Structure 1
């Protein structure tokens, strides 16, 4: 397993992280992802550690905290062997202050996560979304206090726009507070908007991408092709889950899958393995979060490392997945001299 620095920090992380969205499954949305209990989750952790995958990502809202609880039990007795990342910001409870990135909510969220995970520190704590109702200074001051208290070691953001992230970094720099070293962002061969602004920002500010849904909300599993029904076991069978994910034009999806099939045949790898390997070669990417309903899926996804696509194969996938960016990015790209080096 290859390890990379997480952004500009001194922390090294495996290039693949196991997501725990498939742990628990105690409501309709997350049940569509998976419903691994403690025994199955422990087996997935065992396999991950054997392969050198030592980082596990969760969030308080995953199955209403059940995913964190299951992860905590699955790593019991081997906390020193793993890196834990988790997230909070979205609503947790019915109270007026049980949502957002206020000092009140973040401290309560971290304390709750520590209890559910059965640990006294979190390696990477991320804001699950930007809270425009709370001053950035309040949020980052609270996170800095939690870092100084030893309850979290590194901080990151998730689903921020470029100005959200840059403003946060500037505030941290102004006051000498802990700085976001990671940005957990959606990025895939059928979702390349991350490249427009967030990637140049990440390279300039040394913020490592922690990629979520690298298979395009389960659309790049290799089971979706022209004229074929959806797989029987897939989150895409859930209307709620499908509607919540990024929407993709069918013909565009088929074009990308055709290219993945072609490259996969050249390298002897599956569609998802090729799609994951493509991401691992993209600038700014520190780690890619993989999900697994079961041992078979996990072992398959682990096959995405230990080899690399050629430059020609990357170019083929780039061309198949290329789209015209929105303004001002299409205009900026007309002036190659002014683009940041990649």
Structure 2
């Protein structure tokens, strides 16, 4: 099980809401030894909207306040994201201090999860990242054309060779996670320890049903992706004119309705009470949820990280969590 709490510190102690001082406590990813900062930095914009200099600045800022958990994929910018992260770690000589997660299964060069393809994809990722081991490997897709046994045996071989430490799912239903756990037990191979899924204040149903139940049963560490809903939950998009400035305007435009504005109003209210920014409150809300270890956050520049940095230290009260729950129901 993850060493996380479903209730806030403020609720447990009866103290008034506040931002704690000092460094954020790291959290354990499922049944692993990985100790990670309570939000992961996504590399999905590296090589896309962030060039080399911007990428270095973002990574430096994240590392500067104690961040150690970088999340990428072999399909992000056709592998360039992995290369840029690898180059940064080499220049900073900090690979030993970082937890690196990447995903395979969606790249044009190595699509799918057949054993030989998966192995080839991991070898390519290791080369681009400039490392001899991936800390957390995600299966980026649920490849139903391949028997779980083939994929699980291939991952286990990589783990036994020391090329991967732990692995998890990224696009699996609750039933498929159960199938994978049963197959792992029958084969005597390493089970998944983590789940990355779409989960945030305006996208709750997909996770909060079967997936949440299975994650709890299996003790999976949950890393919500799109934790800020493409920036919507930071409060930067409140009108059609604002949305027009977004690189993801199609996704954000769909959120700019009655429910979305209600969620923003709730975030504004709690943010004022906490003397924090709406985006930090959105992350703090996720961190109150059972099994959630580290929401995955994407930023376009280093300055945006400053607003999010306090998130792991914010103690939401029971009332504040309820306000956000009701607004986003």
TM-score under structure 2 length normalisation: 0.88
Q: How does 1:316-335 map to 2 (within 5 A)?
A: 316-322=323-329
Query: Which is bigger in relative contact order (C-alpha 8 A, separation at least 6)?
Result: 2
Which residue, out of 276, 281, 289, partners 1:269? 276
Q: How does 1:1-342 map to 2 (within 5 A)?
A: 1-25=24-48, 34-37=49-52, 39-76=53-90, 77-93=93-109, 98-193=110-205, 194-225=207-238, 227=239, 229-231=241-243, 233-237=245-249, 239=250, 242=251, 247-248=254-255, 250-322=257-329
CA distance in 2, matches of 1:185, 1:85: 14
Kept in 2, the 8 Å contact 1:20–1:56? The answer is: yes
1:234 partner SS: coil
1:133 partner SS: coil
CA distance in 2, matches of 1:286, 1:154: 15
Cα drift, residue 35 of structure 1: 2.1
Deviations 1:214-238 (A, max 9, x none): 112322120222x55225642234x
1:21 partner SS: coil
Deviations 1:61-82 (A, max 9, x none): 1000000000000111211111
Note closer, same or farther for the CA distance 1:129–1:7 as it changes in structure 2 (3 Å cut).
Answer: same
Kept in 1, the 8 Å contact 2:78–2:107? The answer is: no
User: 5+ unaligned residues in a row in structure 1: which ranges?
Assistant: 26-33, 323-342
Kept in 2, the 8 Å contact 1:73–1:117? The answer is: yes
Correspondence for 2:17: none
Kept in 2, the 8 Å contact 1:120–1:151? The answer is: yes
Runs of 4+ in 1 over 6 A off after TM superposition: none
Cα drift, residue 11 of structure 1: 2.1
Q: Which moved more, 1:228-237 or 1:141-150?
A: 228-237
RMSD of aligned Cα (Å): 1.6
Deviations 1:165-198 (A, max 9, x none): 1111111111221111000111100011211111
CA distance in 2, matches of 1:258, 1:47: 29
CA distance in 1, matches of 2:51, 2:246: 15
CA distance in 2, matches of 1:111, 1:253: 42
